[in-house]
Amino acid sequence: MPAAQNATLVSVALDAAQAPPLYVQLFEQVRDLILSGRLKPRQRLPSTRALAKDLNVSRTTTLAAYEQLMSEGYIEGREGSGAYVAAMLPEDLLLVRTRSDGVAFNAQALDGIDDREEKTQILPFNSSGQDVRLFPFAEWSRLLAKSWRSPRPELLHQQRGFGHLPLRRAIAAHLRELRGVECTAAQVVITSSAAQSVSFLMRTLLGRGDTVFVEDPGYPTIYRALEDLGAATVATPVDAQGFTVPDYDRPSPAPSAAIITPSRQYPLGMTMPLARRLEVLNWAEATGTWIIEDDYDSEYRYVGRPLSALMSLDRSGRVIYVGSFSKSMFKSLRLGFIILPLALIDRARDTLYTLGTSASANAQPALAEFIASGQFAAHIRRMRRIYSERQQSLREALDTELAGLLEVPRQSAGMHLPVFFSKELAARISDTQARVLLAGADVTAEPLSPHYKEMKPRQGLLLGFAAFAPDEIRAAVLRMAQVLK
Ligand SMILES: Cc1ncc(COP(=O)(O)O)c(C=O)c1O
């Protein structure tokens, strides 16, 4: 692999064994030196003869490369005095290749960054989802292939309605059966996520500056979505029964909404008892507040039957149900849904007309069949058993290894366990510092305190257990104990 000796082109190296042809390799390398600023405008280049000698290639090669550089405007020839880098390079060419702070564009390094993001490893106790190693991909890919072998034309055009009708029917049937929600496909809107459902509902129900009550602590993604929409959020404390009912005095005649997680409060994990549910419904009716029921992981209850949704108790049409497939399928599927009260269907159609849909139609037919054929319910049943064991393994390991440092609540639902710092641990370290130290021991632990908005934050960690086998859980708890002790 001959390399140039001449100082200006010292980095050029050609390899006859590699494609493309040598003259193209030379052209590309000189062009890149110019674009990255390492060869400066008006800088003199070696003669084609000298360079050929230097690189141990024929002069035809160097001549062909220089001709190409010249015809594309990178270099200029001066009669009798050789070749120079062009004095004026097309400006937009340089702007494309050079960052505004003057740092040379380094495609390889940027490629590397993307690569690292792609490969992010899911370490215990990442709480973002379920164990995808146990997902029935053979069946899922069969359903995807089937729906795309000869796709129905409407799937390929701009999506105008509330989503793929068979999927909306399947969701309505699933919720009627499992959660007691009396609804039909006409009330179901397919969205791309819970956060998008909330934005959609805000635009349907409220204007900028209208009041939205949010749970404190709560889900920061939703806080951020509301801030983006210009809503006036009112942080509402959560007690042992969940969302506490605010004052009956309306702050203003403007409409208002409350976003709550009655089935399993996020992030603390308690379930709202019936008496509190009825209190919330009475308050909503009396004050004209819309209740958005965020039901993000209620499929996973490990004792008794699945809970009835708050929407199933609502007689005044004020509850809107928001569901997501992020936890029950997998996060990157990016499909969620809304169940609207009948009175809101027309208003939602207007919103959809303005915003368009953001949910991709690609996987909707496959998901419809996955649910309608009973495979979704079977998958959930199977995972419920597995996750229940995993939650038990986590609790036992924490009780054995970290007793006295962490308080572990008794919960038998969900995919993450919130654990609280003892006074002693909280005096030594904050939960955000703990996250950094634990990351050094290959443990991912989401701190609890950033989930608080205005209430005094408790120090703790959210430990996702669903995606990890019992031995992975025990090994990670041992690493945690080493760090926290
Ligand atoms: C409280 C809460 N709501 C909703 C969701 C679902 O979010 P999305 O559908 O935006 O992925 C999650 C997921 O982690 C959550 O924690």
Percent of the chain with pLDDT over 70: 91
pLDDT at residue 112 in the model: 55
188 C-alpha vs ligand 1 centroid, how far in Å? 18
Measuring CA to CA, how many Å separate 271 from each of 320, 322, 376, 411, 457?
Answer: 18, 17, 24, 10, 20
pLDDT at 101 over 90: no
As given in the structure block, the two tokens for residue 174 are 């699933």
* Contact (CB, 8 A) for 210 and 230: no
- Residue identified by tokens 């054929």 is 373
Would the pLDDT of 477 be above 80? Answer: yes
pLDDT grade for 79, boundaries at 50, 70 and 90: low
Question: In angstroms, what CA-CA distances link 420 with 247, 449, 461?
Answer: 30, 10, 7
**pLDDT band at residue 207 under the 50/70/90 scheme:** confident
Lowest mean pLDDT segment, chosen from 243-257, 284-298, 348-362, 396-410: 243-257
The pLDDT of residue 96: 43
Predicted pLDDT of residue 72: 80
Query: Is the per-residue pLDDT at 97 higher than 50?
Result: no
CB neighbour burial string for 235-255, b if at least 16 within 10 angstroms, e if fewer: bbebeebbbebbeeeeeeeee
pLDDT greater at residue 480 or residue 308: 480
- Mutating to test ligand 1, I would choose from 126, 130, 224, 296 the residue with most ligand atoms within 8 A of its C-beta, which is 296
Residue 260 Cα to ligand 1 midpoint, Å, equals 12
Percent of the chain with pLDDT over 90: 71
Q: How confident is the model at residue 113 (pLDDT cuts 50, 70, 90)?
A: low
Least confident of 7-11, 314-318, 480-484: 7-11
For residue 126 and ligand 1, the question of a CB distance below 6 A is answered with no
CA angle 396–400–404, rounded 5-degree value? 115
Query: What is the Cα–Cα distance from 303 to 289, expressed in whole angstroms?
Result: 32
In this structure, what DSSP letter does residue 233 have?
E
Maximum CA extent, the chain: 95
pLDDT score of 402 more than 90: yes
Which residues are bridge partners to 269 per DSSP? none
pLDDT (average), residues 36-54:
89
Residue nearest to atom 5 of ligand 1 (CA): 296
Q: Inform me whether the pLDDT recorded for 387 exceeds 80.
A: yes
326 lines ligand 1 (CB under 6 A): yes
Q: Can you tell me whether residue 399 is helix, strand or coil?
A: helix
What is the band of 253 on the pLDDT scale with cuts at 50, 70, 90?
low
How far apart CA 265 and CA 262 sit, in angstroms, is 6
Q: What is the pLDDT of residue 247?
A: 85
Which tokens go with 40?
């400066």
Which of 125, 193, 216, 221 to mutate for ligand 1's pocket (most ligand atoms within 8 Å of CB)? Answer: 221
- Give the range among 17-31, 82-96, 336-350, 463-477 with minimum mean pLDDT: 82-96
pLDDT at 267 over 90: yes
CA 359, 360, 366: angle at the middle one, nearest 5? 115
pLDDT score recorded for residue 250: 65
- Give 29: exposed, middle or buried? Use CB within 10 Å, 0-12, 13-18, 19+: middle
pLDDT, tens digit, for every residue of 369-380? 999 999 999 999
Residue 100: which pLDDT band, with cuts at 50, 70 and 90? very low
Q: Report the alpha-carbon distance of residue 255 to residue 208 in Å, rounded.
A: 11
Helix H or strand E segment including 215: strand 211-216
The pLDDT value given to residue 32:
87
Which residue, 284, 290, 286, 280, is CA-closest to 206?
Answer: 290
Report the atom number in ligand 1 closest to the C-alpha of 221: 10
Q: What is the pLDDT of residue 151?
A: 87
Q: What is the pLDDT of residues 319-332, one digit of tens each?
A: 999 999 999 999 99
> Which mutation among 270, 324, 325, 328 tests ligand 1's pocket best, with the greatest number of atoms within 8 A of CB?
324
Of the two residues 431 and 80, the one the predictor is more confident about is 431
In short, whether 325's Cβ falls inside 6 Å of ligand 1 is no
Mean pLDDT of 269-296: 95
Q: How far is the CA of 401 from the centre of ligand 1 (A)?
A: 30
Q: Measure the CA–CA gap between 105 and 35, rounded to whole angstroms.
A: 9
Q: Does 243 contact ligand 1 (Cβ within 6 A)?
A: no
Q: How confident is the model at residue 103 (pLDDT cuts 50, 70, 90)?
A: very low
Q: Which domains does the chain have, with CATH numbers?
A: 7-112 (1.10.10.10), 135-374 (3.40.640.10), 378-484 (3.90.1150.10)
Residue 92 pLDDT more than 50? no
- Model confidence at 106: pLDDT above 80: no
Can you tell me the distance from the alpha carbon of 294 to that of 224, in angstroms, rounded to the nearest whole number?
16
273: confidence class by pLDDT, cuts 50, 70, 90 = very high
Q: What is the pTM of this model?
A: 0.78
Please list the residues that pair with 235 across neighbouring strands: 214
Task: Tell me: pLDDT of 2 over 60.
Answer: no
Please tell me whether the peptide bond between 217 and the residue prior to it is cis, using omega within 30 degrees of 0: yes
The one-letter amino acid at 200: F
Contact of 186 with 345, CB cutoff 8 Å = yes
Helical residues (DSSP H) of 19-101, grouped into ranges? 22-35, 48-55, 59-71, 91-97
- Residue 191 tokens read as 């969205």
User: How buried is residue 435: exposed, middle or buried, by Cβ count under 10 Å (0-12/13-18/19+)?
Assistant: middle
pLDDT of 116 > 70? The answer is no
Is 461:418 a contact under the CB 8 Å cutoff? yes
> Separation of 327 CA from ligand 1 center, angstroms?
8
Whether the pLDDT of residue 13 is over 80: the answer is yes
Q: How confident is the model at residue 5 (pLDDT cuts 50, 70, 90)?
A: low
Residue 109: its pLDDT value, please?
Answer: 56
> For the chain, what is the mean pLDDT?
89
